[in-house]
Structures are given as structure tokens and as C-alpha cells.
Structure 1
């Protein structure tokens, strides 16, 4: 009798397991075409006669994203993300493409050939195919551009073209704290590097990010984030920011006047934050030798004045003009090696030495704008290692660029001042929300 009960119990448990598997499979098949990734719930049925407890089982079933488009001629739409080690063939295979003509077209067409060179992991690619695997259309995002490579089947065969895409702009609010470096703090807060660089540019006239940062300094930032089909593409413009450095707080708000084509950053009181001169010709580096009247020269092995500031950086690092101006000299000059001199308004000139090379177009008389790349860090002339030697000159006399008071750009006029306060009211509220988030990520539509 006991053995008969045991057999009945075993058969009942097997039946329950079969029912559970069948329900999971049915749920997966019912939802696959609509959602691509299916969450299936299976509940083991209870019974008074069986000593089994009730459990809820949740499984994540990895099913390709497939949508059946209306009309047989429109086919199936699939989306896949590029994986590490992918080839064009492996990607197309996961997209359901078994079309020899399409393979050959992607290999030989000049526009479509770029796909094989831009297989960056994580990029989302979509394809439309027939039920037989013939390619009808392929959409492939272009690296570094707001564009798609679109391959389509027409009456005359496959064609490919690069098409611009519209991006959706969302506003992100984030905050962070300096532990070791600015980029380390922004990485921890999930802020793109392009936003971190803008942050340093905005406050660069008041904070020397090479030497003034302190552990515990805090920042909050409101910025644009650009999305394509719900996926983040890149950071946009900073709209508002706050930086507390050594217990002193600076604020910046983006404002575009009706009288000018481009906007700028202003403090809460409307003061223009743009300096006539950037504090440093490199975005980020370290000072390896300061301005002094007596320094031991590492190449000449003698004591002599050092009338500039040296920034250590790898060869090829971009050097930027610290202000608007005109190139006065670009060429080789003695111990300076490759030297570029820019004359600015008034009595100011700046010099950039030991360059590895000059940016295109850098010749005497060329106009440069503040922040333009003018050359690249090198080791030419009397240099013991790769670095930039930078001089700030007033009436052709070198002065310490780290100590000189830099003039500001003109402030807002009376008419713009009132408009500025109204235009930035919402940004002030968002900046406060970012500050109070304590590092949490907030996103706004």
C-alpha cells in the first residue's frame, strides 16, 4: 500500500513539473513577438492531497527581439546589440539575415563598407527581413556622428546612404564629490567626460584644476543628454553648474542673449564668467616646473631663470589658445624648438614651446579663437622630456600666468540682466535639486 502511494505521489509531482514547463513555454511564445525579452511566471498548482508548498517561479528568457510587421511584404523587424568580437557576418546572422546578395553588397559598396569598421560593442542595429531571411532594410548608427548608414532594397536592388537622425534631448541632474580627481568624481557620478571637460572650462578662470582641487570639494550640474530611440548617445551642453572649491562656491548659468548668436555662462548675479584668457593652455595636466628667477636647467645643467610654466603631458596632447588672437610666429626657434606665439588684444602675447607640431592652418597672420587647438605637446628644442613650455607676456615681458589677474569679458547689459534672471529661474530650482540629490542620478524629460 505504501509503495502504491509513493508511485501515485511521484506521478503527481511529474505531472506538476510538466504543467509548469508547458505554462512557461506558452507564456514565452505568447509574448515573444510583442516584447522580445519575456518574463514568464509559473505557479505549481496546489492540492489538498499532495504535501507540496506553493512557489512562484520567475525566469528571464533570452529571446531575440522580433516584431512581425503588418503585410507579408514588410517582413520581420529585429534589433540586436553588437557584441565583442562580432563580425558583419555574425551580426547579420543574429539579425536573421541569410541573404548572399546582401553580404556581398555590404562587402563591396563604398558606403556600406564602413559598417565592418565600426562594430563597436553595445551599439544597437536593426534589420528588416522577409521570412526567408532576405534583407529589406538595415539601420546602422555611425560612430561619432548623429547619423545612420541605411541600407534598403529597392526595385533596382540594394542601395546605401548615410542619413542624419534627430536626437531627443533630456535634462540630467547630478552631483558629486572630489576624492582624488575631477574625472574620477564625475565617473563615479555617471557624468560623461565631455560634461566634465565643460565643467573645468566654465570654472577654469576661477579654479585652477591642476592644483586648486581639494578632497571634499563638491559640484552639482544640470546638463543636456542626447538620446536616440531611448538610448543615450552623448552629453550635450551644461545648462547650470555649481562648484564648491576650498569652501568657496561658484555658480554658472547658460544664457543666450537676443543680441548675440551664441550664448555664454554667467554667475547668479549676471557677471560674465568667460575670462579674456584661459588659465591654462591644456585641459588637464600637471605643472612640472613653475615660474621662477632661479632654476636648475635639466639639459644645460646650469642655474638660470625660468620665465614660464611647464606642463607635463604625453606627446600629441592638444594645446589650445588661451584667448582670441592672431598668430605672430609659428616655426623653429633655438631652445624653444617648435614655437608658436599668439598676439592678443592690448599688450598681451602668449608663447607655446617644444611643440611636436602645429595644428593645420597655423601660420603667421592666422586668426585663432579661445580654446582652438593650435599645436601638440612634444619634446623639441632643449627639453628633457615631453611637455609644454607656456609663457604669458605683457608688453613682451614674461609674467607668471598662474598669478596674474586675468580680465573678464563684458557683463550683461541692463536689458539682458532682467531677462537673465527670468530665464534662469527654472535652472536655479534644478540646480538645487541636483545639490540635494547627494550623488543620486535624476533625469527629467
Structure 2
């Protein structure tokens, strides 16, 4: 046993020198392979402090032959290059300054613009903000010009083989849907102004929801609405706005929705997304938008008579000349002057209903007794004739000869969407309702 242990020790001792020799070679190999790395580290370490004063600088010039171009960079025939330039009329513009800014330089074109009877409308109707665009060549010769004379008329001037020609016609407009949302802070018009929504759209919304919302007294701070309406553009410039396509109005926590539908016959009406008509047999108010200066009451101190007297109608304050609409189909039973009413109109409607309109400044030309009128027809204009202290409309509503409050009486609904149009309407309504939901959700998220 002792001999065996001695033998193992001898083997181990015999192996140790070989092991030491392998370790030594490995260390040398690692040391040699690390030299480049140490060199890099050293270079990075001394680079910021390296002195560059002793580095020699030399300039080398070498000629490089450029390839020949197969086609010239600039066209030899510059006259064939035409340019469109768009601009807007400025407040201090003259015809000369406007043409100079559009790079129109040929005397022939300028003379035509001044002398031609139709083209001269450009110089006489320069209105700040209106769009104008001109096509000229590299020599400044006018080839074509288009100017927006009005929302419905565009002047076009074009050079032909026989000289310049001018014509006025309706612009080709592009119609797009505009989606807007706003919150009521003080009034409907203040909210639409803040959201850059035209007044015409605000008036339409007031009419659409007039059967459910009294815009004279029901609005509250925090009410909000979303609306989709048509806008028409000429070469990217807004020309006018069209009709409301869909709207959603939240008033005092209750939400009302409206969708426009144009039947194949071209008749336009507003419905709930399910097809229930939003129109009533009677409009709630014969004025587009106003405020109540005196309500319906059986006892009021009369400002002219200076005594208590029943006021069996409502006074709607509005500027002189404001249009008055027939709230429903009917027949004119009286038009003329009558006592304290001044200029007054009586209309007889179906189902025992009659209405009265007093203190008018004037009547619609041609209006006479026995004439039929349709809902929305203009019958007269606000004034202050008779016993009135200021311009307003005195409006009365009678049912079977008994006066009722026009702003509180229940108004019957019109017929729902016709059965033959129901499927088409629902498809149309589904698309607009989806857009309203998306816009409404984004508006609520932004408020949160």
C-alpha cells in the first residue's frame, strides 16, 4: 500500500512540469493577442491630449474628368415652360400690383384686362380675401386666369389663337363633409363662433332641434353638440356651406340626434337615426332665432297703455326686417292694419289652429287674403307698427278660438320615413351615426 502511494506521487510529480509548461505557453499567447487591444486603449487614452502642432499639412490637387451630359439641365425652349401661381386679393391691391405679384408682364394681357367689358370686372371687383390664380410662361405672358367674382361666379380669361377671351360662369365646386364639435359657454352663436362654424349652420341646428329644445331659454352652460355639414370648395378655397348632414345635441344631460335624408324626389327632411321625423306640423317659432322679450300671461303691465292687461301671445325681440316664416301650411285669413297690432297677418291652419303676427314692418309682396302658404314660407318682416315700444314680433297661437302659449303647446309630429325609403335611409343613417359617435367620443375624451 505504501509502495502504491509512492508510485502515484511519482506520476503526479512527473505530470506537473508538463502542466506548468502548457500554462506558460497559454499566458504568452494571451499576452501577445492582447497587444493590439492595449494599443487601441492607449490610442483612445491619449487622443484628446495629442499635440497637432507638429503634423505636416499638404494640399493635393487632382484633375477629375466629368462625364458629358446627354441632355441639358436647362431647357433651350423656356417659352414652353408654364407656371401656375395662386394668390389672394389684398386690402391695398390694384390691378397692376396684383398682376405684378402673379408675374403677368405682357402688355397685351394687361390692356385686355382693362378694356374688355367682361374682363374689366376683375379690376372693379377686387375684394380682399378672394382667390385668384394665373398661368404664365417664362416670359411673363398670361395664358389663363381665374378669379372668384362671387361665391357663385368665376371669371376665366384665356389666351387663344385669336387673342384673349373672357367668360363668366359658375365655378366647379368640390363638396366635402366637415365635422365639428363645440361646448356651450354662453350662447349657441358664441359656441359656433369659437369652433369656426358658420352662422348658417347654427341657424339650421336651431331649426332642426326646435321641436325638442327651446333655444331661447333651454340652453345651459356645459351643453355640447357635434355636427356634420356640407362645405363647398373652389380649388381648395371655401366658397360656401350647405346643409347640416347630421347633428347631435346634448341639452341638460339629454341627447338628441338628427340625420338628414334626401329622397329620390329631392325632398330634404330630418329624422332620428331610427327614422322618426323631427319635423312637427308646426314650427315652434316663426323666427329663425331670437329672444323672448315678453311671455304668455293673463296679467301683464302694458308698457304703452300703462295698465294691467292679459298678454295672450309672446313677444319675440328681433331687428327690424327679420324674416317671419309660416310655422305650418295654412291660408291667409287677413292681411293689413288692425288696431294696436299695426301691420298684422292672420293664418288659418288645419285642426282648428290659427296664428296671429303683429307689429310687422311690411308684408311679403303679393300676400293677400285667401292665399295658401306652406310651412317655412316668408310671410312678412319684423317691425314696430301699432302699439310697440321697439322692434319685435307679437305671435299668438289659438286652438279652436282659445289662446294657448305658443312655446308650450304640444305640437304634433310629422310622418316618419316612408316605407319604400326605409332600407336606404337606415344604411345612410348608420354611416352618419357612426361618424357622430366617433366625434362625440373624442370630444368627451378631450374634456376629460
* Normalised TM-score (structure 2): 0.75
Deviations 1:357-399 (A, max 9, x none): 2233333344433223322221111111111111222234432
Preserved CA contact (<8 Å) 1:222 1:434: no
Deviation of 1:272 after TM superposition, in Å, equals 0.5
Secondary structure of the residue that 2:366 maps to in structure 1?
coil
Is the aligned partner of 1:78 residue 2:52? no
- Mapped contact 2:155–2:167 kept (Cα < 8 A): yes
- Name the CA distance, whole Å, in 2 between partners of 1:367 and 1:254: 27
Q: In the alignment, what sits opposite 1:188?
A: 194
Mapping 1:359-438, distance limit 5 Å? 359-438=364-443
Cα distance change of structure 1 residues 108 and 402 upon mapping to structure 2, 3 Å threshold: farther
The residue aligned with 1:278 is: 283
Give the C-alpha shift of residue 103 in structure 1: 4.9
Query: Does structure 1 residue 305 correspond to structure 2 residue 310?
Result: yes
Once the two structures are superposed, residues 51-106 of structure 1 have per-residue CA deviations (whole angstroms, 9 ceiling, x without a partner) of: xxxxxxxxxxxxxxxxx9x9837854322111123233332232233455655554
Partners of 2:340 and 2:112 in 1: CA distance: 56
Task: Give CA-to-partner distance per residue, 1:336-356, whole Å, 9 cap, x none.
Answer: 112223333332222222112
CA apart distance, 1:184? 1.2
Partners in 1 of 2:95 and 2:255 — Cα distance? 51
Whether the aligned pair in 1 keeps the contact of 2:78 and 2:138 (CA below 8 Å) is no
Does 1 or 2 have the higher relative contact order (CA < 8 Å, sep 6+)?
1
| Residue 232 of structure 1: aligned partner | 238
Range with greater deviation from structure 2 (419-428 or 129-138): 129-138
CA deviation string 1:136-179 (max 9, x = no partner) = 4321113232x311123445544332222222222222221111
Deviation of the 1:192 alpha carbon: 2.2
Say whether the 8 Å CA contact 1:350–1:390 is kept in structure 2: yes
Check the 8 A contact 1:279/1:401 in 2, yes or no.
Answer: yes
Aligned to 1:243: 249
Q: Secondary structure at the match of 1:197?
A: helix
Does the Cα contact within 8 Å between 1:175 and 1:440 map onto a contact in 2?
Answer: no
- SS class of match (1:122): coil
Paired residue secondary structure (2:103): coil
What SS does the corresponding residue of 1:435 show, helix, strand or coil?
A: helix
Unaligned ranges ≥5, structure 1: 1-29, 31-67
Matched, 1:169 2:175: yes
Q: 2:135 aligns with which of 128, 132, 150?
A: 128
Contact 1:272 1:412 survives alignment (8 Å): yes
Contact 1:174–1:437 (8 Å) recurs in 2: no
Q: 1:112 to 1:356 in 2, by over 3 A?
A: farther
Q: Is the 8 A contact 2:81 2:138 kept in 1?
A: no
Task: Find out whether 1:209 has 2:249 as its counterpart.
Answer: no
Specify the alignment match of 2:126 in structure 1: 119
User: Are residues 317 and 257 of structure 1, via their aligned partners in 2, closer, same or farther at CA, if it must alter by over 3 Å?
Assistant: closer
* Distance in 1 separating the partners of 2:299 and 2:86: 65
5+ residue gaps in structure 2? 1-72
* Separation of aligned partners in 2, 1:99 and 1:122: 25
Distance in structure 1 (CA, Å) of the matches to 2:115 and 2:444: 49
Distance in 1 (CA, whole Å) between partners of 2:349 and 2:106 is 61
For 1:143, the equivalent position in structure 2 comes to 150
CA offset at residue 319 of structure 1? Answer: 1.9
Q: Aligned partners of 1:351, 1:102: CA distance in 2, in Å? A: 61
Matched residue count: 372
- Equivalent residue for 2:258? 252
| 1:250 CA drift (Å) | 0.8
Which residue number corresponds to residue 347 of structure 2? 342
Query: 8 Å contact 2:304–2:388 — kept in the other structure?
Result: yes
Distance 1:313 1:133, change over 3 A: same
CA deviation after TM superposition for structure 1 residue 205, in Å: 1.0
- Displacement after TM superposition at 1:215 (Å): 0.8
> Is the alpha carbon distance of 1:86 and 1:227 closer, same or farther for their aligned partners in structure 2, counting shifts above 3 Å?
same
Which residue of the partner structure matches residue 227 of structure 2? 221
Cα distance in 2 between the residues matched to 1:89 and 1:420: 54
Cα deviation for residue 431 of structure 1 reads 0.7
* Alpha-carbon offset, residue 303 of structure 1: 1.8
Aligned mates of 1:304, 1:185 — CA distance in 2:
38
CA drift of 1:409 comes to 0.9
Distance 1:273 1:149 in 2: 41
Larger deviation: 336-345 or 398-407? 336-345
Q: 1:369 to 1:89 in 2, by over 3 A?
A: farther
The 8 Å contact of residues 133 and 146 in structure 2, kept in 1 or not, is answered as yes
Whole-angstrom CA distance in 2 between matches of 1:116 and 1:398: 59
* Distance in 1 between residues matched to 2:301 and 2:119, nearest whole Å: 58
Range 214-223 or range 387-396, more displaced: 387-396
Pair 1:94–1:248, CA change in 2 (3 A) = same
